Every structure is written in structure tokens, then in C-alpha cells.
């Protein structure tokens, strides 16, 4: 059998990089997609150094032209993509009364429009092959989180997106699921601590104390679930939202 191809968006660092490395170890040829191809170099090196196959691709997932070109380039370089991980994300936190139009539009643009554009581009290859796995990063913030009306809306929207894609593409052998992480240690959560003028260590300790398993999550905790959802044996799991938060969702 030829090697299956996976695209992971926002794979230059954090959760996306961990998922890309894990899928590389699982035997996928991995397209490491991020805003620039250069930024994906470390993730590509980690995969190839471990004996895997990977290529970096630059694209802004909220730009239709760049998404089409990037997915076509992946198909050309690595082969037709069958696994898509919609992971790229940004934060523009603010209380509603202070939130700007740009805070709203940019967060909705990257998460919601980005997942839509990427999924529409990749499903063509998946339906042609009668096989596919789509994994999209939601968040516990989908349930509501102070200061994140834009992000919570986008992450809740991605749950509806996932269920609808699961319904539409199931007959083509394609599953769609979402992972909703709680607190994961990445540059995104480090930036949140900095914005709140807290030392990251104190911020992490405070979060861990409120989590049933008494620790914060690591990118690898999310990658393990993504690995299962991207696998062939997960074929009867579709339209689900799996919370990876060290306890039940609120
Ligand atoms: N860290 C957490 O606690 C946490 C919790 C729940 C959900 N999530 C979600 O997991 C995903 C990854 O989060 P992270 O903590 O690794 O974030 P991160 O900020 O460390 O990494 C995000 C990556 O996405 C890329 N990216 C941003 N905008 C992009 C665009 N328009 N096009 C292409 N790439 C783009 C960035 O360049 C970066 O490499 C995000 O969707 C985030 O919302 C994170």
C-alpha cells in the first residue's frame, strides 16, 4: 500500500507540531502547514530525523487562494491527502465591550473560515479515494469563557461544523471528529499568562489545581487522541467531540 498523506495546519509549533510528529511516527507522510514554509522547518526535521516523510507548506488558512494552492502542492509533492487536522488557531481575547471588529473577524476567520476552506479543499481527494479522516481542534472554551466571545463562538461553531461534515461525508468513507482540549502548555497559553501579567509557572499551577487529574495537559496528550481519530480503526467514530481536559467538561 502507498503511504497515506496527512495535512496538519498550524503545525510549526505547539499542539499542531506534536500532532504532526505523532502522525509521522504513525507512518503518514505529513504536510506541515503554517503561515510560512520556513516556520515549519523544525517540525519537518523532527519527523524526517525520526525516519518519517514530511514537507513544509506555507499558507494562511483563512485565504481561499492560498489554501487551494497549498493543498494542490501537497498532492503534488506527497500524494493525495486523506487525513486533515484543522489545528491552526489564534487568540484575540477581550471583554465584549472592548472587543474590536478586527478581534472578532480575525478569530472567526482563522478558526471557522480556515477549517471550512481547508476541509472543502481536502474532501475532494478524500471522496475520490473513498477514505478520509478529518480532526478539528475545538476547545473547552466552546462552552463559554470570559474574555473569549470570539474564540468561544468559533470553537462552538467548529463542533457544529464537525457534526455536519460527518453527516455529509460519511458515505464516502470519511469521518469527522473534534478534539476539545482544556489547558495545554504551549506558546498560546504562555501568551495568555503574559497578557494577564502572571508568571507562567503560577498560571500553570493555578490551572492544575482546578483540574481533576491535578496537572495541565501537554501537546502530546492531544496528539495521542488525534492519532486514534486519524487511524483506520477509528472508522466507526464520527461526529464526536472528545474533551481532552483531565476531567469532564463543565
Ligand atoms: N493551548 C491550549 O490550551 C489550547 C486549548 C484548547 C484548544 N486549543 C487549540 O489548539 C490549536 C493549537 O493551539 P496551540 O496552543 O498549539 O497554539 P499556538 O499559538 O502555539 O500555535 C498555533 C499555530 O497556528 C499557526 N497559525 C495561526 N494562524 C494561522 C493561519 N491563518 N494559517 C496557518 N497557520 C496559522 C501559528 O503560526 C502557530 O504555529 C488552536 O486551534 C487552539 O485554539 C489550544
Q: What is the CA(77)–ligand 1 centre distance, in A? A: 25
Domain CATH code at residue 34: 3.40.50.720
- pTM value? 0.99
Mean pLDDT score, 118-142: 98
CA distance 68 to 71: 5
Name the average pLDDT for the chain.
98
Pocket test for ligand 1, best of 8, 11, 16, 159 (most atoms within 8 A of CB): 16
Give yes or no: 151 in active site: yes
Residues 32-65: tens digit of each pLDDT: 999 999 999 999 999 999 999 999 999 999 999 9
Atom 13 (ligand 1) nearest CA: 15
Q: Which ranges of the chain would DSSP assign to H, the alpha helix?
A: 14-25, 41-49, 64-77, 101-108, 114-129, 149-169, 187-195, 200-209, 219-229
**Same domain as 163, residue 202:** no
**Same domain as 120, residue 226:** yes
Mean pLDDT score, 132-155: 98
Predicted local confidence at residue 1, as pLDDT:
57
Give residue 80's domain range: 5-182+219-243
**Same domain as 196, residue 128:** no
Residues 166-200: tens digit of each pLDDT: 999 999 999 999 999 999 999 999 999 999 999 99
Atom 1 (ligand 1) nearest CA: 184
Domain membership flag for residue 236: yes
Cell numbers at 221, concatenated: 496528550
Mean pLDDT score, 151-165: 98
Domain membership flag for residue 57: yes
Q: Is the pLDDT of residue 83 over 60?
A: yes
Predicted local confidence at residue 249, as pLDDT:
85
Amino acid at each position: 500500500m502507498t503511504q497515506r498523506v496527512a495535512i496538519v495546519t498550524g503545525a510549526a509549533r505547539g499542539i499542531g507540531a506534536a500532532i504532526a510528529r505523532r502522525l509521522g511516527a504513525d507512518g503518514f507522510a505529513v504536510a506541515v502547514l503554517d503561515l510560512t514554509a520556513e516556520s515549519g522547518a523544525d517540525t519537518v526535521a523532527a519527523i524526517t530525523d525520526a525516519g518519517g516523510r514530511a514537507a513544509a507548506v506555507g499558507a494562511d488558512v483563512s485565504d481561499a487562494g492560498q489554501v487551494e494552492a497549498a493543498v494542490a502542492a501537497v498532492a503534488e509533492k506527497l500524494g493525495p491527502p486523506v487525513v486533515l487536522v484543522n489545528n491552526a488557531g489564534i487568540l484575540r481575547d477581550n471583554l465584549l465591550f472592548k472587543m474590536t471588529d478586527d478581534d472578532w473577524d480575525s478569530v472567526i476567520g482563522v478558526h471557522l473560515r480556515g477549517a471550512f476552506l481547508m476541509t472543502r479543499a481536502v474532501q475532494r481527494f478524500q471522496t475520490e479515494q473513498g477514505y478520509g479522516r478529518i480532526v478539528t481542534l475545538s476547545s473547552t472554551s466552546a462552552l463559554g469563557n470570559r474574555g473569549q466571545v470570539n474564540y468561544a463562538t468559533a470553537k462552538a461553531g467548529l463542533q457544529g461544523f464537525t457534526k455536519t461534515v460527518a453527516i455529509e461525508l460519511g458515505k464516502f468513507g470519511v469521518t469527522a471528529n473534534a478534539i476539545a482540549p482544556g489547558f495545554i502548555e504551549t506558546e498560546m497559553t504562555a501568551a495568555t499568562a503574559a497578557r494577564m501579567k502572571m508568571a507562567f509557572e503560577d498560571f500553570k499551577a493555578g490551572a492544575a489545581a482546578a483540574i481533576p487529574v491535578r496537572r495541565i495537559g501537554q501537546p502530546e496528550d492531544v496528539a495521542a487522541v488525534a492519532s486514534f481519530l486519524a487511524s483506520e480503526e477509528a472508522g466507526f467514530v464520527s461526529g464526536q467531540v472528545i474533551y481532552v481536559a483531565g476531567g469532564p467538561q463543565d
